[in-house]
């Protein structure tokens, strides 16, 4: 999915096919519907500036879509960094780095502190703090418009995820992911676990980038209600017993 969305941006940049034009901070669908990163809009507001009408409408469209419907799917379907961190994750499994006796762990709450800090710094320095250094924006703009030294930032994240911390950037550090996790608590699309079908292999927890959202595996039927689940569907893919599936919040099975 990330590649298809990226392709639309690249086509708009290099051809006359203007389906999705701009970048992840602000873009326009068919030159009419604005899309904006609501976290970037929030940082702009924190600087004391008033964002333009298109930025506000675009930010609201994206915010409402993720908050009410899709959940944190930005991280699994849209963000190009996911391609980098998934590659590091796959290589990490291949090199069996995860079998280390004492894997490095740091708090997943750091990303929320980074989120708060970015807004405070935006307020103090009068510039959108995370947006100015965001590896996500650096990578996305780099792919569309060409890289400067920004690829070094992307390489650093790849190496951290590969050698230092499993899913380190997305799972522990990224304030943009934290923002989407924060607003996704009440979205409708959810993962569902059915206990009767589960053989306790725990493959879902091994593949899940946020395994702490799956405490119910093998214990009881439940919807995954944490906003930190990014609806990537990897747990569904690896489950051979159809114990995991997409569902809707309206069909609650939590016990």
Q: Which residues bind ligand SF4 (CB under 6 A)?
A: 75, 79, 81-82, 136, 169-170, 174, 176-177, 191, 207-210, 213-214, 224, 229-235
As measured in angstroms, the least distance from the Cβ of 124 to ligand SF4 is: 23
As measured in angstroms, the least distance from the Cβ of 16 to ligand SF4 is: 30
Q: Which residue is nearest to ligand SF4 (CB)?
A: 177
As measured in angstroms, the least distance from the Cβ of 190 to ligand SF4 is: 9
Q: Which is nearer to ligand SF4, 45 or 235 (CB)?
A: 235
Q: Which is nearer to ligand SF4, 20 or 88 (CB)?
A: 88
What are phi and psi for residue 193, nearest 5 degrees? -115, 130
As measured in angstroms, the least distance from the Cβ of 231 to ligand SF4 is: 5
Q: How far is CA 19 from the centre of its chain?
A: 23
Q: Which is nearer to ligand SF4, 105 or 212 (CB)?
A: 212
As measured in angstroms, the least distance from the Cβ of 90 to ligand SF4 is: 14
What are phi and psi for residue 244, nearest 5 degrees? -120, 140
Q: Which is nearer to ligand SF4, 52 or 153 (CB)?
A: 153
Q: Which is nearer to ligand SF4, 122 or 247 (CB)?
A: 247
């Amino acid at each position: 999915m990330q590649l298809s969305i990226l392709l639309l941006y690249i086509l708009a940049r290099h051809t006359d096919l203007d389906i999705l034009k701009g970048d992840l901070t602000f873009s326009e669908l068919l030159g009419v519907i604005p899309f904006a990163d609501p976290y970037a809009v929030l940082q702009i507001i924190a600087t004391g500036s008033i964002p333009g009408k298109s930025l506000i409408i675009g930010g609201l469209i994206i915010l409402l879509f993720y908050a009410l419907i899709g959940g944190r799917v930005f991280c699994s379907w849209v963000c190009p960094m996911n391609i980098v961190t998934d590659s590091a994750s796959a290589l990490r499994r291949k090199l069996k780095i995860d079998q280390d006796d004492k894997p490095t762990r740091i708090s997943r709450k750091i990303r929320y502190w980074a989120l708060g800090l970015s807004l405070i710094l935006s307020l103090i320095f009068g510039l959108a703090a995370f947006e100015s250094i965001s590896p996500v924006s650096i990578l996305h703009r780099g792919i569309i418009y060409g890289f400067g030294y920004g690829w070094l930032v992307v390489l650093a994240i790849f190496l951290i995820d590969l050698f230092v911390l499993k899913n380190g950037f997305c799972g522990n550090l990224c304030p943009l992911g934290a923002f989407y996790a924060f607003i996704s608590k009440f979205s409708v699309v959810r993962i569902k676990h059915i206990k009767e079908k589960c053989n306790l292999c725990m493959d879902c927890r091994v593949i899940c980038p946020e395994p702490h959202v799956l405490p119910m595996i093998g214990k009881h039927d439940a919807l995954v209600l944490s906003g930190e689940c990014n609806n990537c569907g990897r747990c569904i893919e690896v489950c051979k017993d159809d114990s995991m599936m997409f569902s809707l919040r309206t069909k609650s099975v939590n016990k």
